[in-house]
Amino acid sequence: MQTVMALSAVAALILGGWIYYNTQILNGGTSIAEAIPQLIAYEKAYGHLRDAQPKITAINLKGDLYPNEESRFAVKGTYTLQNQTQQAIDTILINIPQAVQVNQLTLNGVVGKPGVQYPGLRVYTVSLPAPLKPGATLTATFDLLRHPPAGFVANTGDFDGYLTNGTSFLSTDILPQIGLARLLVTNPKTREESGLPPLDPATEQARASQFNTNHPDTNLARYSAILSTAPDQIIFTAGDLVREWTEGNRRYFEYRSQVPVAKLVPFISGRYEVRRDEWQGIPIAIYYHPGHDRNVQHLLNGAKQGLDYASQHFGPYPHKSLRIVETPYVSEALSHPGGHINMGEKLAFLTNLNDNDATVVNSAFRFAAHEVAHQWWGHQVHISPTVPGSKILTESLSEYTANQVYAKQFGQVGLEVALRDNLNTYLQNRSKSDVPLVEASENHLVYQKGSLAMFALQDYLGEEVVNRTLAKFLQDHSKVPPYPSAQDLVAALRQVTPAKYQYLITDLFETVTLYNNKAESATVKPRLDGKYDVTLTLSTQKVQSDNVGNETSTDMKNEEIDIGIYDAAGQLIYLKKHPFSIGTTKLTIMVNQRPAKAGIDPLHKLIDKVPDDNRVAVTETAD
């Protein structure tokens, strides 16, 4: 397993590099032929600094956005940099996106000098007059100007950031990155031919656990910003809103994080309407495009119940406010540090929901609950995204939280629909990738399958047992580095799992295990006492799949699986676990009401290859 995981670390590095290459290099005007020699020259010049650079511990910004003037963004700011290594640092690298104009860049007054060219970035080096000792700090000062890209940006789909009403971009689009740029040449042959040292998988895996690959120059940092925009707009970033005011023809907003946060923060400006509410004294605001208020109440309900559940089970909400901000159509949902959530209009604001139809997932409620959960799973438990399987710590646990909240709001019928929706998405996308969750990165695995695994585990162990374990996991891993891994979570869950359920940890997280359960028939016979005997014939099978989809039958030894019986209204009148082994089983169960349907694993808690045959109609027994 260790060898596989180490190789996966390099694979993740390659994938991350490919994404970075497409978004930052090709769209920065650099061709493939130009990029590779630049990457080689850059690493030869600065590779020795890879683990010898300071970390950002505080970010302070003053930015002015001009949405009516080509959405240019002028920002001045400072970083506090700390040497968190065990050696003195005499040279510091600073990388800034190529499209950004650099007006000033200094470290403790020392001006940055242009360095070796790197694709899509402006590279600067600062040679310190005196080495920065371990634990010591210095201040980086910068004055930058960003213009939006001209037209559509190839290969990114980035045409949602600059619209008539709405300017949206991220800190990675403008702010300096300290230290070695994250993209390296990973092809072993190219590295050897270029005279670069080989990348050792075990070393890369160990290194990845020590920094966040999305922003390797920062673990967690104090964050504050004073931002201005047009007088008819609101501008957002991460953190709680401290104050707002108007000065001249500009509208100003000051934000500050209550706790140190990750560096990836948004900048959003637009003309918004707002709906306000509160939860336990915490103000909640939903900002939406005029006329897009259809599902605002669902979003508020999901946010409030998400806060209620997560704070009750996992720990206090660490911020003084929560806001959800609508972003243009192609945008997805994204939870940022400091209680800020971006929500794409197509996901929640424009969806046509029927409040009276529990058989359709209320996506607005569910998305709000999921994104709120990220304020725990993603912003209190932090991950290094290229560590294999690490996304289950954020996406699987947030989706699990959303399922728990959804069940409490919409009951058994709504829960069944939500779980089936997750199962369908996973099954429909298995051909793309299907690996154990401890190695997973694809969305259908870390969102849908991961949430099903967590829901099944709490169903067997008990909600309180699982949630208590998750709360302790959060407490144990809230300080980084090192960044927690999927194996850390699995180990914590295995520790609280009784011996008879240990197979669940293996099946749910460490292997690709699927069931092929089927309800062959169900008959009913009225009893003299007014009750009913329901006789079910059921078949059960369990298989394990390898990384190319080859399946091998695996043993089942009295594994407990739900049996459910429904009345004519679709309500469960019986739900209880029974032991099963491979093969055919016949059961007779007494119920108090006339049954209409019955089956095995009716709520789809297990990963069943063909879930449609889990239930059958109940027929009368022939006398």
Q: Three-state SS for 31? A: coil
Binned at pLDDT 50, 70 and 90, residue 14 comes out as very low
Starting at the edge strand found earlier in the chain, the sheet holding 532-540 runs 583-591, 532-540, 518-526, 619-620
Query: Tens digit of pLDDT for each residue in 126-171?
Result: 999 999 999 999 999 999 999 876 544 444 434 344 456 778 889 9
- Judge whether residue 117 has pLDDT over 90: no
Element of type H or E holding 7: helix 2-20
More confident: 241 or 156: 241
Structure confidence at residue 505 (pLDDT): 98
- Strand 72-82: give its sheet, edge to edge: 110-111, 100-107, 137-146, 72-82, 55-66, 218-229, 250-256, 240-247
pLDDT tens for 275-301 read: 999 999 999 999 999 999 999 999 999
Q: What is the pLDDT of residue 30?
A: 58
Pinpoint the alpha helices (H) of 462-586.
463-477, 486-495, 502-505
3-state helix, strand, coil in the chain (%, to 5): 30, 35, 35
Select from 454, 594, 473 the least CA-distant residue to 522. 594
The CA distances from residue 328 to 155, 183, 381, in Å, are 18, 30, 28
Pairing between β-strand 518-526 and β-strand 619-620 as defined by DSSP bridges: parallel
Nearest CA to 60 among 242, 271, 247?
A: 242
Determine the distance from the C-alpha atom of residue 126 to the mean position of all C-alpha atoms in its chain, rounded to a whole number.
35
Taken in order 372, 342, 483, 83, is the CA torsion positive or negative?
negative
623 pLDDT band, cuts 50/70/90, is low
Q: Which two tokens stand for residue 460?
A: 């067997």
pLDDT digits (tens, 9 = 90+) for 466-511: 999 999 999 999 999 999 999 999 999 999 999 999 999 999 999 9
**How far separated are the first and last CA of the chain, in Å rounded?**
58
Give me the pLDDT at residue 376, please. Answer: 98
* Residue 135 CB contacts under 8 Å (≥ 6 apart), including other chains: 82, 83, 84
Q: Two tokens at 92?
A: 């510091």
Length of the chain: 623
* Nearest by Cα to 375 from 286, 294, 474, 464: 474
Residue 68 has pLDDT above 80, yes or no: yes
The β-bridge partners of 561 are 578
Contact 106, 124 (CB under 8 A): no
DSSP state for residue 385 in the 8-state scheme: T
DSSP 461: H
Contact 432, 444 (CB under 8 A): yes
User: Up-side HSE of residue 386: CA atoms within 13 Å toward CB?
Assistant: 30
**pLDDT at residue 164, as a whole number:** 62
Distance, C-alpha 17 to centroid of its chain? 19
In DSSP notation, 573-621 reads EEEEEEEE-SEEEEEEEEESS--SEEEESTT--S-BS-GGGSEEE-EEP
Tokens of 254: 């000051």
Computed over every residue of the chain, the mean pLDDT equals 90
* Ramachandran class of 96: left when φ > 0, alpha when ψ lies in -120 to 50, beta otherwise: beta
pLDDT of residue 19: 40
**What is the enclosing helix (H) or strand (E) of 553?**
strand 551-554
Query: Phi and psi (nearest 5°) for 167?
Result: -120, 130
For residue 487, how far is the Cα from the chain centroid? 17
Q: Is the pLDDT at 8 greater than 70, yes or no?
A: no
pLDDT at residue 443 is higher than 80 = yes
pLDDT band at 398 (very low <50, low <70, confident <90, very high): very high
528 residue type, one letter: L
Q: Which amino acid is at 341?
A: I
Q: How confident is the model at residue 17 (pLDDT cuts 50, 70, 90)?
A: very low
Cα–Cα distance for residue pair 341/277, rounded to 1 Å: 16
> Which tens digits make up the pLDDT trace of 180-226?
987 788 889 999 999 999 999 888 888 888 888 888 999 999 999 99
CB 584 within 8 A of CB 400: no
Q: What angle in degrees, to the nearest 10, is found between the helix axes of 363-373 and 296-313? A: 40
Whose CA is closest to 232, among 300, 301, 326, 166? 166
- Helices in 268-375 by DSSP H: which ranges? 296-313, 363-373
- Is the separation of the CB atoms in 534 and 567 below 8 Å? no
Angle made by CA atoms 572, 577, 583, in degrees to the nearest 5: 110
Residue for token pair 């003037």: 69
pLDDT at 6 over 50: no
